[in-house]
Amino acid sequence: MKEYTISFDKINFTKNNPSMKARKIDLKLSTLLVWLGRHVVRDHHSNSEWFGGKEEDSKFIFWFKTQENRDKAESFLNEVIENGIPKMRV
């Protein structure tokens, strides 16, 4: 089965991003995976066959089994980058 991936610069989820700085938070990969599992994929991140993520150099790379989940996750993570926390429900 094909995997669909997206990647984001880690810096988007740190206090270098103005919306994160305003909320005084730095997000880790584990937090983002929990949020993706709860809000997008509806599966637990630690043993999921449907999605996952890893850190590589200065990027977070997320993979999904379906294009639909990948697209939802991209919108969701962009919302987190803009607001610092997830506001949307997909």
Does residue 88 form part of some domain? no
Q: Which domain holds residue 53?
A: 4-83
Model confidence pLDDT, tens digit, residues 30-51:
999 999 998 899 887 777 889 9
Does residue 42 form part of some domain? yes
Task: Determine what percent of the chain is predicted with pLDDT higher than 70.
Answer: 96
Does residue 20 form part of some domain? yes
**What does the CA dihedral 31, 34, 40, 45 come to, rounded to 10 degrees?**
130
Does residue 90 form part of some domain? no
Model confidence pLDDT, tens digit, residues 18-29:
888 888 889 999
Question: Position 5: which residue type?
Answer: T
| Number of domains forming the structure of the chain | 1
Please, what is the angle between helix 29-36 and helix 67-83, to 10°? 120
Mean confidence (pLDDT) of the chain? 89
Query: Left if phi > 0, otherwise alpha if psi is -120 to 50, otherwise beta: which for 24?
Result: left
Q: How would DSSP label each residue in 14-45?
A: STTSHHHHHHT----HHHHHHHHIIIII-S-G
Query: How confident is the model at residue 62, as a pLDDT?
Result: 96
Does residue 10 form part of some domain? yes
